[in-house]
Amino acid sequence: MSLDEGYRDVVDGKIAAVVTSLEMFAPPPLGKEPAGHGLQLERAVKPDLDWYRDLYRRVGGPWLWVSCLKMHDAALAAVLHDPAVEVWAAVKDGRAEGLLQLDFRVPGVCELLYFGLTDTVIGQGAGRWMMNRAIERAWSQPIGRFWVHTCSVDHPAALAFYVRSGFTAFRRQVEIFDDPRLSGVLPPDAAPHVPVIRPKG
């Protein structure tokens, strides 16, 4: 369904985000990696759900990542424990501070399902380092397409970062979802760049 030009009201208590999907069809040249971030990438095989949700929340909470926090244990485990799904953690001083999740469940395709760092390490060059590892790992498998999506409530530098990393935008969508701060899935002070509009009455 297409939307005509103009403004559209969003129901109070919900959030509207513009989602941009991007793709690449061959491995690009890797970007220069700044030194000194002190991170190591470690694969989490069949990760513990509590550990995963904690990392997912610390990485994605400021950007209203919520889908995995709402999934029942069985559904989340079915994804994370699938052998075609890879969960990697960027670890610093023994603590996971970054999440890289690759989904190979569609033959010949890899989706960069989740990619992000905690506030502790953002701004230290770790994002470029982790993206280079993501590109290397994705294209080490027999794929012909690597893709990702980001949205307008994500980190403001995310979209441009993906483009600089070799992805090209191919689709734009509007997603409307319940504000997770109103239901308690995320704390009220999460994502201060997105105002909370409570339902009236």
Per-residue pLDDT tens over the stretch 72-96: 999 999 999 999 999 999 999 999 9
**pLDDT at position 4, please?**
80
Q: Is pLDDT above 90 for 128?
A: yes
- Whether residue 35 lies inside any domain: the answer is yes
**Structural domain of 143:** 17-178
- What is the C-alpha to C-alpha distance for residues 21 and 173, in angstroms, rounded to an integer? 8
Q: Which CATH number does the domain housing residue 151 bear?
A: 3.40.630.30
Using 50, 70 and 90 to split pLDDT, how confident is the model at 40? very high
- Whether residue 190 lies inside any domain: the answer is no
Distances (CA, A) of 162 to 28, 52, 85, 167: 12, 24, 21, 6
Looking at residue 10, its amino acid is V
Q: Is pLDDT above 80 for 180?
A: yes
- What is the C-alpha to C-alpha distance for residues 83 and 92, in angstroms, rounded to an integer? 26
- Whether residue 62 lies inside any domain: the answer is yes
The per-residue pLDDT of the chain, averaged, comes to: 94
- Whether residue 12 lies inside any domain: the answer is no
**pLDDT at position 129, please?**
93
- Whether residue 100 lies inside any domain: the answer is yes
- Whether residue 128 lies inside any domain: the answer is yes
Q: Is pLDDT above 90 for 41?
A: yes
**pLDDT at position 1, please?**
62
**pLDDT at position 85, please?**
98
Q: Is pLDDT above 90 for 2?
A: no
Per-residue pLDDT tens over the stretch 101-110: 999 999 999 9
- Whether residue 50 lies inside any domain: the answer is yes
**In sequence order, which ranges of the chain are alpha helices (DSSP H)?**
49-60, 67-70, 73-80, 126-139, 158-164
| pLDDT, mean of residues 148-161 | 95
Using 50, 70 and 90 to split pLDDT, how confident is the model at 3? confident
- Whether residue 188 lies inside any domain: the answer is no
Q: Is pLDDT above 90 for 201?
A: no
Residue 21 vs residue 3, higher pLDDT: 21
Work out how many domains the chain is built from and give that number.
1
